[in-house]
Chains A and B, each alone.
Chain A
Amino acid sequence: MSQDVFIIGADMLKFGRFPDRTVPDLGAEAALLALRDAGLGIGDIDAFYCGNLVEAMEMVGQRILHHIGQTGIPVVNVANACATGATALREGLMAIKSGMHDVVLCVGVEKLPRGLMGGGAQPSPQLEGLFGSTSMPSVFAQVGQEYARNHGATFEQFAKVSVKNHHHSTMNPKAMYRIETPLEMVMQAEMISWPNTKLMCSVNVDGAAAAVLASEKTTRRLGLMGQAVRIRGSALASDPWSPRNQTMPDFNTVTRLAAARAYEMAGLGPDDIDLVELHDCFATAELVHYENLSLCGEGEAGRMIDEGEAALGGRIPVNVSGGLLSKGHPLSATGIANVYEVVTHLRGQAGARQVEGARIGLTHVVGAGHAGAAAGVHILEKA
């Protein structure tokens, strides 16, 4: 029986725009912050899992070690679209569970070009517009439209997600934006891809987040059980076949698959969860994931947002960090930044946005390209 794995250090940079800094420089700063949180140095680390997308061919993990210490440890550079951070964390978890390593470092770091995601270099002919759209705003608009088709959710209900998450971010000093966005402001903002307005699209930012993981034996030896967070569940899924998913990415089936695996591994259910950080890359996406993560029954997501159940103080607070919509979404950093957020609550250190008495939290990310999808779910418990 493999032993439990604990998060003994975690931190993130305040998300923002850093035109004068490099990817390794940002990743190194996050790594040092997480190491300091654990009271460790790079010399204590057995292996390093580094998530990055934009420089995925450029040995970002090794270059981070150039900044903080070239110890010769194994480095694995990870790319899995917006599920990259969760994938790097899970690789670290598995390395410890396997017994190969005792203490590992996991980093997610990204510097993003400005503008809409999903374009890339377009060869001739230009397909966007000619054959509909594959931009990320369009793809996730359709996620909401499919939900509206099935359950009748309204533009206003989707917009309320953005109002909530922007409100939450006013209490998070590490969020990119910390402004209130009233419902009329969200609904009257520039329409990007119906029904998502500009304020219903995640913020395109730079950022980095890091976590130090250790075996139970090492966590006890270091005397860190007081601040440690146990990883109860960890699951990754690729998109199984589902109707239409080769034409329209299906984030529902892949999330449900990962969530079921994570709940099973944890031996827990949705009623046990005190807070959730889920992948609100667009406001339309948050509502569908309430159901995909079993936070409510089928068709109840609209009611859940209407009645404030997902707000701080509600039945199951979702994205109290401000989420991707307002904290920001530096792709590879997101899946570790959401773990940092939950760890902060489980330690009781989240300040004004603290979910009172939080003992168990869930993190979720999805990733997609033009085709293909990934979902990562982690369930964390105060040790």
Chain B
Amino acid sequence: MTAVQDPRTPKAAVSHICLSRLDDPYIEGHRCGGCGEVFLEVHARCARCFGDDLTPARLGDTGRLYNFTIVHRSFPGVVTPFVSAIVDMDGGGVVRGTLKGAGVDPAALAFDMPVRLVFGDSGQKDEQGAPYIAYHFVPSQGPTS
């Protein structure tokens, strides 16, 4: 008889976070063997070249800030201000996330600044008390490749 999983085992806050090893979380995307494009969602065919050679791919942890906005007003209950970032990941894939640790002054944020992913407890739990694991971005020291 297999052990019943603890209902409070941490869960991924979004489906593209892979938690097969809790000490080594990562974003799992899907790479097209035909054109190389990387998607976060599971698709039947590649949206770019329509090919069917899509295989799971571990995204890197580093990237560059392609775009951002500083959110001062959001939906009720959402703490503001925060930086919403669009990041081109090194090695492929594009990820939206909150950028922390860089302030909320537009003058302090630069397009293409290097950032990296940090995984951790989101502070939110499901009905059974299981914490949701999420990620955010932080400014990265040194160049990314």
Contacts and interface: CB of A to CB of B under 8 A. Distances in A.
Interface stretch (A121-129, A210-218, A341-349): A121-129
Contact of B74 (A116, A146, A248): A116
Contacts of B106: 194-195
Contact of A128 (B40, B75, B95, B135): B75
A193 B94 contact: no
B140 interface: no
Nearest to B65: A149
Contacts of A193: 69-73, 84
Contact of B98 (A116, A129, A137, A191): A129
Interface residues of A, number: 35
B16 to A, nearest CB: 10
Contact of B97 (A132, A138, A190, A195): A132
Interface in A182-240: 190-195
Nearest to B82: A129
A129 B67 contact: no
Given A192-B73, A247-B96, A127 B14 contact: yes
B86 A244 contact: yes
B13 A130 contact: yes
Interface residues of B, number: 45
A141 interface: yes
Contacts of A194: 69-70, 72, 106
Contacts of A243: 94
Contacts of B37: 241
A124 B98 CA distance: 18
**Majority SS at the chain A contact face:** loop
Contacts of B76: 115
A159 to B, nearest CB: 14
A131 B98 contact: yes
A247 B86 contact: yes
A246 B40 contact: yes
B13 A127 contact: yes
Given A131-B134, A142-B86, A126 B79 contact: no
Contacts of B41: 246
Given A127-B14, A131-B97, A132-B98, A190 B78 contact: no
B68 interface: yes
A192 B72 contact: yes
A196 to B, nearest CB: 8
Contacts of A241: 37, 47-48
Contact of A145 (B67, B79, B97): B67
B59 to A, nearest CB: 12
Contacts of A157: none
Contacts of A195: 69, 106
A130 B96 contact: no
Contacts of A247: 40, 86, 94-96
A194 B99 CA distance: 14
A192 B72 CA distance: 5
B94 A244 contact: yes
A370 to B, nearest CB: 11
Nearest to A133: B84
A195 B105 CA distance: 11
B85 A132 contact: yes
A181 interface: no
A246 B73 contact: no
B144 interface: no
User: Lowest 9 CB-CB distances: which A-B pairs, in order?
Assistant: A132-B84, A141-B69, A194-B70, A133-B84, A125-B124, A129-B78, A247-B94, A241-B48, A119-B75
Interface of B: 13-14, 37, 39-41, 47-48, 66-80, 82-86, 88, 94-99, 106, 111, 122, 124, 126-127, 132, 134-136
